[in-house]
Structures are given as structure tokens and as C-alpha cells.
Amino acid sequence: MSNTDSFDVSAARSADLEHQIAQHPADFRVLTGDRPTGALHLGHYFGTLANRVRLQRAGVEVFVVIAGYQVITDRDSVGHLSRNADDLLLDYLAAGIDPDTATVFTHSAVPALNQLMLPFLSLVTAAELRRNPTVKAESEAVGERALSGLLLTYPVHQAADILFCHGNLVPVGKDQLPHVETARLIARRFNERYAAGATVFREPDALLTDACALLGTDGTKMSKSRGNAIELRSTADETATLIRRAKTDADRTITYDPEQRPEVASLLLTAALCSDTDPADLAASIGDRGAGALKTLVTEAVNEHFRPLRERRVELSTDPGHLRAVLTRGNARANEIANDTLDQVREVMGMTYEKSRQRPTTGL
């Protein structure tokens, strides 16, 4: 299947899933996550975080992995992992992830999850791994010679993230679709090859979010490393400064035209998402008042929308003990589930040596 086909199929499937979620939220378990490389920005928020909170409020159980082992796929130094993990956790909690119902955990605290990687690796070929378009793009970015074994195989590790807790719903942007495809393949092959067709793992579904195309303030993809991102934790003043410097174009009349005017369109989309309005209507309301008026409007919309989240975030950051407790609880729960899953995997694979061995009956 080509990438476009698989995107179309996933988009249609997502609409169908939304319908089922509304009716039977308890049938679903969301697993998703982020690399702890820094605080989250508006692109993350509208692309995935808001959607996680929405699903949680609809009654779906939510698991979020702070994916430490994915940080080292494409860089030599791990950076400030624990500080970055705290920043993620603050963003999650401030955005409304509820630690009483959701499970937030870290890769390295859940050994059984990581052990699933071994049988899972046996289920994919090197050629399949090399074909993954997201891995391809990432390996081009680091250079083929620097392609690490982990970069090539992290989609398999990500399958373990999803399958250890029997997550069946993965809310993602387009770039993560190939990874959900890998998880589906692994679930299917595991059942066929190691479980004689019994369903040990269900195939997870991707739930596509449509608002995943926010650009940074320089008109390229929003990304922390490019310095063009409005972070959730930014103050109102920092937000104003970033937006004031944002790239626009020479046309004074503001129109919503994502093809021809991507920078202006992305600013309009940002304001529209923050104020739950239509970007074209916003453009019309600005008319020929130009980029200055557009930027004022965007700044106000962002600051207004994120004020409560930012206040909660500041408050939460004064209580590091609470953050530790949330992670301790999340990791304990993830371990419990991962141990059960790994036991079942060992069982169906015939790897429970101690149990199956006949004990000597000599009375020694």
C-alpha cells in the first residue's frame, strides 16, 4: 500500500473510530507518548495533547509513555532527561491529564516492556525496517553512516510501548502512521507465529488528528530545536515577542491561503484553534489591516487560551513531590501490566522453563 493510500485508509478508519469511542469509550485504551527532549509547544498541544485530554474526558483509559529510550535514537548525548521528563509531566498535568485515571510512565522504569523488544524484533525483517518512511527521513537527517541500530529498530520498541498494555488506540499525526503499521504487523505475526493463531495481541488503530500542521514562527515546521516554537509554558510576554518576530509576507490584505501564504495561514490557524473559530473568518475580520493587526490578534488568542493552563503549570511546578508521586504510581502500574504481558508471552512461546521442567522426585 502506498503512503497516500494508507493515510486515506487511516483517515476513514479514524472517523469510524470516533463514532465507536463516543458509544463505547471503555472498549478503548489509548497509548501514546513523547520523547523527553524539552517542554511541549503549541504544535504538540493541538496535534496530540489536547486530543489525549479529550479522549480521557470521554471515558477512554489513557497511558502516556515518556520515551527516554527514543531520545538516543539519533543523538549522542541524552541531554537533561530527568528535567525534560519533569517538563513533559508538567505540560501533561497542566493540560488536564488526570493522574487518577491516566497512567504516565517512563521507558526505563519498566523492564518487562523492554524485554518484549526481543521476540518482537524476530518478527520483522531488516528490509521492512529500512523501508519505514519516518525512519528513512530520520536516518537521512543524521546521515546513513551514523544510522544506529536503535534508530533502525525503534519502531519495534514503540510497538512494545503500545502492545505491552494492549493499547488499541494510538492518537498520532501523519509521521507516526508507519510506526502504528509496524505495531499492527508485529501483533498479527506474533499471534500467528508464536501463539498458534490465538489473540495475544490485538492490532492497534491509529487515530489521526487533523490539526497537526502548525508551522513555527519562521514558517518552517514548529520544532524546539529551530527556536520557532511557542511553548505551552511561555509567558504572555515571551509569546508576544515570538509572534511579533514571526515571518509573514508582503501582502497587506490578510487571507487564509495555506498553499500560497503558509506563514500567514499558520498564524491564522493558531488563533483559530485558540479561539475555536474559523481561520478564513478571522482573515476576513482583519482584512487590509495587515500583519501587525494579525499578530496582535494571534497573541491575544494564544495568551487568552493558555492562561489557565500556564497558571496551573506554575502552581504544579512548586510541588516536585507531587510530580515524583505521579511517576511512581504510573511506573508501578505500568510494571504490573508489563509483567503480566511478558508472562503470557513467555508462556505461549514455551519459555517458562522453571514451571514446565519435571521436578526430580528422589526426595533429595
Binding site for ligand TRP (CB under 6 A): 31-35, 65, 67, 70, 158, 161-162, 170, 172, 176
**At 31, which helix (H) or strand (E)?**
strand 29-34
Residue 40 Cβ, how far from ligand TRP at the closest point, in Å? Answer: 10
Q: Which amino acid is it at 142?
A: V
> Min. distance of Cβ 347 from ligand TRP in angstroms?
25
Of 102, 100, 96, 14, nearest to 66 by C-alpha is 102
CB of 176 to ligand TRP, least distance (A): 6
Which is closer to ligand TRP, CB of 139 or CB of 248?
139
* Nearest-approach distance from CB 159 to ligand TRP, in angstroms: 8
Q: Measured from the CB atom, is 124 or 268 closer to ligand TRP?
A: 124
- Judged by beta carbon, residue 157 or residue 305, the one nearer ligand TRP is 157
Closest CA to 216 of 241, 236, 246: 246
Closest approach, Cβ 334 to ligand TRP, in A, equals 13
Name which of 90 and 172 has its Cβ closer to ligand TRP.
172
- Residue 175 CB, shortest distance to ligand TRP, in Å, is 8
Nearer to ligand TRP, 49 or 283 (CB): 49
Calculate the CA dihedral of residues 310, 314, 316, 319 and round it to 10 degrees.
170
User: Strand pairing partners for 41?
Assistant: 231
Residue 176 or residue 266: which is nearer to ligand TRP going by CB?
176
Q: How many CA atoms lie within 13 A of 108 on its CB side?
A: 10
46 or 256: CB nearest ligand TRP: 46
Please check whether residue 233 is in contact with residue 313, taking contact to mean a CB–CB distance below 8 angstroms: yes
Dist CA 342 CA 166 (whole Å)? 12
Give the bridge partners for 106, in sequence order. 66
For residue 79, what is the DSSP state? -
99 vs 82: CA distance, rounded Å: 19
Distance CA 4, CA 355 (A): 49
Query: Residue 336: helix, strand or coil by DSSP?
Result: helix
Which lies closer to ligand TRP via its Cβ, residue 175 or residue 238? 175
Name 335's Cβ contacts closer than 8 Å, sequence gap at least 6: 109, 110, 111, 112
Per the structure block, which three cell numbers stand in for 56? 480521557
Nearest distance from C-beta of residue 238 to ligand TRP, angstroms: 24
Amino acid at 247: K
Give the shortest CB-180-to-ligand TRP separation in angstroms.
8
